[in-house]
Amino acid sequence: MRRVYWGLSGVLLATLGAFATSTVAEEATPSPFPSRLAQAIAPLDVNPDGLSGGGALVLSEAIAASRYVLIGESHHTREIPALTTQVCRLMAPSGLTAMAIETGPEAARVVDSAMRSKDREARVADFVRAHPDGVAFFNGRDEVRMAGDCAAAAGPKFTLWGLDQEFLGSSGHLLEEMLASKPGPVARAALTGLAAEDRKATAAALASGSPFDLFLLSATQDDLDRAAAAVAKDGGARVRHLFGLLTESRAIYQASRSGQGDANGRRARLMKRTIAAHLAENPDARVLMKFGANHAYKSLNPLDQRDLGAYVAERAEGEGVSALHIIVLGARGSHGGYGGVGRPAVVHSFDMKDDKDPDWRKDATLARAADAAPGSWMLVDLRTLRTKGLLASAPPQWRELALGYDIAILAPMLTASSLLGAEKPATR
């Protein structure tokens, strides 16, 4: 009986295959890739009062259908936070629980505590002056403004989830929080000693501008090991947690500096564990996530790693919900870069036309409609490029992009954001 069953299945499959082949043959020859690309592009206008253009409808419908929305970006710009604010406003009416961001959990708590205040920028600036390099990315003026605008749109229960390791200058704040958590006498003595060393290291780093002078990287392992033993003895749960954040952040930076070990992989695993814990506590959460472009790929990213975006994509599929992955870059302009401890951002200028390597941004610009307004953004619906086997003949840069993201958005011009607690950016 089994043999007859499989025989009938083989006949049925062969018949279906012949039917499918016949159907495909009757269809029109697929359009060349440039033609299909042009059809996937829509204009998108980003204004303080909302989004407009054909791309606005595509984006709003995709967001409405998604529980998780991920934005993969170019950091430290003014325009991408402005777009993110509009995404918040699109998500808020159907519920927006949190924004997951590329900074540490404790740094996110600092920004979260300030984001609904009228003086939020001043409060974050004060924190940054007290703890140079204590916050990653959300020490940017436009990021803090965006956080406040998102909180206003989403309501009182909205919060920030920091998923990353703590930043290079975070140790002083972490040690202050540990001491405020009332550890036992053994742990308190050890942590008081580390706090004194941290203050010396911070002064040295401010003088030199080098992050390698900060305590997180300059502390001796013996000192940290002795403190870890003291914390384990009578530090208490909160202190043990914070000390773990300090040592894990240090380990990631040390691996990155030495080139030994899997720093990026370790960082990605940390972010996955952290968001998994948040979602376990908030099983129905609807979350917006904003990270550097490499982190938000739903497939292997350009570093050949399964990062946060891949985890979220798989989780959403298992939950039977949708995750929307959006990449947002600029065609030209400037973005802020790291300028040193306590230093203002360095402004880096760029123009995609100067890049000699294949770049999807060039192709999209060439496919732009002739009557498009000069200041209009471009939205590329990558989902339409994944149909009917089109990616098999697509240029490699488009195949990688369309497998990693659902929507690509290109701003015609980006401008560098300024850092709170620092002077006017210098240009390089």
Q: Find where tokens 């370790």 sit.
A: 266
* pLDDT band with cut points at 50, 70 and 90 for residue 428: very low
Per-residue model confidence (pLDDT) at position 417: 96
* pLDDT band with cut points at 50, 70 and 90 for residue 30: low
Per-residue model confidence (pLDDT) at position 5: 30
Which residues on neighbouring strands pair with residue 159, listed in sequence order? 98
pLDDT reading at 6 higher than 80? no
Domain ranges of the chain: 33-96+286-427
Mean pLDDT calculated for residue range 309-319? 98
Give the chain's mean pLDDT.
91
pLDDT reading at 205 higher than 60? yes
pLDDT reading at 19 higher than 70? no
pLDDT reading at 167 higher than 70? yes
Mean pLDDT calculated for residue range 166-187? 98
Per-residue model confidence (pLDDT) at position 10: 40
Q: Which of 40-44, 199-203, 332-336, 421-425 has the lowest mean pLDDT?
A: 421-425
Instruction: Specify the fold of 33-96+286-427.
Output: EreA/ChaN-like  fold (3.40.1660)
Per-residue model confidence (pLDDT) at position 423: 56
Mean pLDDT calculated for residue range 37-64? 96
* pLDDT band with cut points at 50, 70 and 90 for residue 161: very high
How much is the pTM?
0.90
Classify residue 343 as exposed, middle or buried by CB count within 10 Å of its CB (0-12, 13-18, 19+): middle
Alpha-carbon gap, residue 81 to 92, rounded angstroms:
16
Q: Which of 127-141, 247-261, 362-376 has the lowest mean pLDDT?
A: 362-376
DSSP state of 374: T
Tell me: the pLDDT tens digits for 234-269?
999 999 999 999 999 999 999 999 998 899 999 999
* pLDDT band with cut points at 50, 70 and 90 for residue 281: very high
Count Cβ atoms below 10 Å from residue 120 Cβ, excluding itself: 19
Alpha-carbon gap, residue 294 to 416, rounded angstroms:
20
Q: Which of 69-83, 143-157, 190-204, 388-402 has the lowest mean pLDDT?
A: 388-402
Amino acid identity for residue 362 in this structure: K
Alpha-carbon gap, residue 395 to 249, rounded angstroms:
38
Mark 201-240 as b/e (b = at least 16 C-beta within 10 Å): bbebbbeeeebebbbbbbbeeeebeebbebbeeebeeebb
Between 165 and 10, name the one with better pLDDT.
165
Per-residue model confidence (pLDDT) at position 369: 82
As a whole-number percent, the residues of the chain with pLDDT over 70 amount to 91
